Amino acid sequence: MLSFSYAIALATFWGFMYDPRFGLINEFFRLINLDSFARTRTGPDLIFWAVLVALIWTYVGFYMLLLLSEAEKIPQSLYDVGKIEGANRVQMFFKVTIPLIWDVLIIAVVLWIISAIKLFEFLFAFSGGTRVPQQIWTNSVYMFLLSFGKRTAIFRLGYEITVSVTLVIPIIIFTGIARLIMRRDRIEY
């Protein structure tokens, strides 16, 4: 999903946001006199949550654009009929919008599953490219560490190949489960 240079730029940006000395988040807490909160947000106990916030911020725009572009195609007359029938906004969302964007929603879920499983560039750049903390390892990070080692090369290529093959299995399983759970009859307008 992310190009390599874009992932590096985002990881650098979030690294500056979380910096313990001059990061924007810590400076905000110092500004409102909450010095106890002004500490590093990327320590070993918080690294997972820091990466999660950064990834949500990174990807939510893409998926929102994908879903909203499909929602824009829904004819206004269907919403007018819902208003005439007495449906409120929440009911129209669940009875009109969701069923009509369901196919694109399935695609978005499948893309999210694949990008979550293969995530590498952002994590590697966010950790500084030296040591990726084990709390944020994915199969791709583990595969890289087996191939090229940590600081000294391990060259366990047989294990790396096994991990890369097993990387396909969760993608197939989770994608199949998502498509099975989200299967519905096609609705056309």
Domains annotated on the chain, with CATH: 4-181 (1.10.3720.10)
User: DSSP readout, 83-106?
Assistant: HHTT--HHHHIIIIIHHHTHHHHH
Count of Cβ atoms closer than 10 Å to residue 62 Cβ: 15
Cα–Cα distances in angstroms (integers) from residue 83 to residues 90, 98, 102, 118, in the given order:
11, 17, 22, 44
**In terms of Cα–Cα distance, which of 7, 99, 15, 21 is closest to 58?**
7
Q: Contact at 8 Å (CB) between 95 and 104?
A: no
pTM above 0.85, yes or no: no
pLDDT confidence band for 71 (50 / 70 / 90): very high
Specify the residue for token string 């944020």.
136
Angle at 99 between CA 98 and CA 104, to 5 degrees: 75
Specify the residue for token string 């007018």.
80
Q: What is the distance between the terminal CA atoms of the chain, rounded to a whole angstrom?
A: 31
pLDDT value for 94: 92
Q: Looking at the predicted structure, is the pLDDT value of residue 52 above 60?
A: yes
For residue range 90-116, list pLDDT tens digits in order.
999 999 999 889 889 888 988 888 888
110: amino acid identity, one letter:
V
